[in-house]
């Protein structure tokens, strides 16, 4: 299934049903009178977050969603039937933006979360509604109120506990395949990852977290260079970022600074998230090179650097434990904030 994380769709709720002008005319009943019923409500447009979806690909083929009009009223004071709502199912983590792509209308970040974005029009009044002591035979009835319509953008931000960032060929896909059951594409050329990948990392029967891998960033990604930085939206919700650096590539400090600059340029608080720095491909460095590059990176970042090799699993269990501890700490803080 192709991954799609943005889509533009048109939505329109249903118009209200029309009221009716009718009079009671029955044999052997001396006095008649108005008995025109009201129109029914038009259908709403409702968005619902469901757990069994992970892409917006369905909206590539269906972009228009319209609810039905409410039923018209009828004689004998019969009200028209209300139209059914149109429920649009989206993946958890979907944001609904206005047509300007700036105004946030809704953020469906929890399973089962619902929002009515376009309300159906109310039904018009029938002439029975206008009967008064001085107006015994009104002939007025109203049309139903129109529904609402708009174009909206859907943007999917994956729900993950931890996110992988780094330059292309830093070994992110290899790391994800080693620590989870995910099977991303792995090759010895840049940009093998073209869309985000999710993997569940299990440390024990009761300890697990979700790890997201996104396409590699390069210098100038915030200006559209390479694949751009749009995919960084998928790690905005992460509790911790794992910054993976190719230790065998040479200037590890420059690689670290490049990614940090792109995170700051993207915004969204990514540069303020807890960061774990890992120097990957230790198996491709001599002990002296590994020690020198790790020391240089620790000095530049002011943070500890973990030395690992995703290919040989060296240092990986210890790194996963650090990530789980950071995720657990973030979950506890979020729980206390809600209380």
Per the annotation, where are the binding residues?
166-173, 191-195, 213-216, 280-283, 309-311
The Cβ-side half-sphere exposure at 40, using a 13 Å CA radius, reads: 18
The Cβ-side half-sphere exposure at 218, using a 13 Å CA radius, reads: 9
Residues paired with residue 84 on neighbouring β-strands, in sequence order: none
> Which DSSP state fits 252?
H
Q: Which two tokens stand for residue 281?
A: 């491909």
Q: Which two tokens stand for residue 218?
A: 């390069």
Q: Which residues are annotated as a binding site for GTP?
A: 166-173, 191-195, 213-216, 280-283, 309-311
Q: Which residues are annotated as a binding site for Mg(2+)?
A: 173, 193
Cβ burial, residue 2 (10 Å; 0-12/13-18/19+): exposed
> Which DSSP state fits 311?
T
Asked if residues 297 and 303 have their Cβ atoms less than 8 Å apart, the reply is: no
**Strand blocks (E) in the chain:** 6-12, 23-24, 33-34, 45-50, 64-66, 86-91, 94-98, 104-108, 114-118, 149-156, 162-165, 197-202, 208-213, 240-246, 275-280, 305-307
DSSP-H helix ranges across 2-106 = 58-61
Distance CA 101, CA 268 (A): 15
């Amino acid at each position: 299934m192709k991954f799609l994380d943005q889509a533009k769709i048109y939505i329109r709720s249903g118009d209200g049903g029309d009221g009716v002008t009718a009079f009671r005319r029955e044999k052997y009943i001396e006095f008649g009178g108005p008995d025109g019923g009201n129109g029914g409500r038009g259908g709403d447009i409702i968005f619902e977050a469901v757990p069994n979806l992970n892409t917006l690909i369905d909206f590539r083929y269906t972009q228009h969603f319209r609810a039905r009009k409410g039923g018209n009223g009828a004689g004998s004071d019969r009200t028209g039937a209300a139209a059914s709502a149109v429920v649009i199912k989206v993946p958890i983590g979907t944001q609904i933006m206005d047509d300007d792509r700036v105004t946030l209308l809704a953020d469906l970040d929890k399973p089962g979360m619902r929002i009515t974005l376009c309300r159906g029009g109310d039904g018009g009044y029938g002439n029975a509604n206008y009967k008064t002591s001085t107006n015994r035979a009104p002939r007025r009835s109203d049309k139903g109120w129109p529904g609402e319509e708009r174009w909206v953008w859907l943007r999917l931000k994956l729900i993950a506990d931890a996110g992988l960032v780094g330059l292309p060929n830093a070994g992110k896909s290899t790391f994800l395949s080693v620590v989870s059951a995910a099977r991303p594409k792995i090759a010895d050329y840049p940009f093998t990852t073209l869309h985000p990948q999710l993997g569940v990392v299990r440390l024990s029967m009761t300890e697990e977290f979700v790890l997201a891998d996104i396409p590699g960033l390069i210098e100038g990604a915030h200006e559209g260079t390479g694949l751009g930085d749009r995919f960084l939206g998928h790690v905005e919700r992460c509790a911790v970022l794992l910054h993976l650096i190719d230790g065998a590539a040479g200037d590890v400090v420059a690689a670290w600074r490049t990614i940090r600059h792109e995170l700051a340029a993207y915004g969204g608080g990514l540069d303020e998230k807890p960061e774990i720095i890992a120097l990957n491909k230790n198996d491709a460095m001599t002990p002296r090179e590994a020690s020198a590059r790790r020391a240089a990176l620790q000095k530049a970042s002011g943070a500890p650097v973990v030395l690992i090799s995703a290919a040989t699993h060296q240092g990986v269990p210890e790194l996963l434990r650090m990530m789980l501890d950071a995720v657990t700490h973030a979950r506890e803080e979020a729980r206390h904030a809600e209380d």
